[in-house]
Amino acid sequence: MTGGWQLVLFLHLLAMAFFVGGQLVVAAAVVPVEASQPEPERMRAIARRFGVGSAIALVVLLITGMAMASHLDLWDSATLQLKLGLVVLLIGLTIVHLNHPRAHVLQAAIFVISLVIVWLGVDLAV
C-alpha cells in the first residue's frame, strides 16, 4: 500500500475509532454517571459536542470510504453495498434519535448497526 492510501485508511480507521469508541464511552461512563448524579445542562452540552464530533467522523468515513472504494474498484462488491445500506440506515436512525434522545432502543440499534458496519469493513479489507 502506498503512503497516500495508507493515510486514507488511517483516517478511515481513526474516524471509526471515534464513532464507535465514543458510543462505548457514552454508554459505559457518561450515561451511568448522569443517572446517579443528574446534571441535565451538562449532559446536554456533552451530547451536543459528542454529536458534532460524530458528525465530523461520519463525514470523514464517507469521504475516505468513497475514495478507497473507487481506488480498489469495490463499488460492485455486495459486502460494500450492504455496508452502504447500513450506513444510510444508521444516518436515518441517528436523525430520529435527535428527536427522541432518550429512546434506548434507538441507541442500542445505532450501536449494533455500527458494529455490523465495522465487521463488514474488516470483511472488505481481508
Q: Could you tell me if 11 and 60 are in contact, meaning their C-beta atoms sit under 8 angstroms apart?
A: yes
Residue 110 engages ligand HEM in binding (rule: CB under 6 A): no
Judged by CB under 6 A, the residue of 26, 54, 68, 107 near ligand HEM is: 68
Please list, in sequence order, all residues whose beta carbon lies within 8 angstroms of the beta carbon of residue 116, skipping any fewer than 6 positions away.
86
Residue 105 engages ligand HEM in binding (rule: CB under 6 A): no
| The residue to which cell 444510510 is assigned | 88
Q: Among candidates 56, 90, 65, 80, which has minimal Cα distance to 9? A: 65
When computed from its CA atoms, the radius of gyration of the chain, rounded to whole angstroms, is 16
Residue 13: CB minimum distance to ligand HEM, A: 6
Q: Could you tell me if 58 and 16 are in contact, meaning their C-beta atoms sit under 8 angstroms apart?
A: no
Site string for ligand HEM, 85-104 (x = CB under 6 A): --x-----------------
Which segment (21-29, 40-48, 59-67, 95-103) binds ligand HEM by CB under 6 A? 59-67
CA distance linking residue 76 with residue 95, whole number of Å: 28
Residue 18 engages ligand HEM in binding (rule: CB under 6 A): no
Residue 11 engages ligand HEM in binding (rule: CB under 6 A): no
Q: Which residues are at the interface with ligand HEM (CB under 6 A)?
A: 9, 12-13, 16, 19, 61-62, 65-66, 68-69, 72, 74, 84, 87, 114, 117-118, 121-122, 124-125
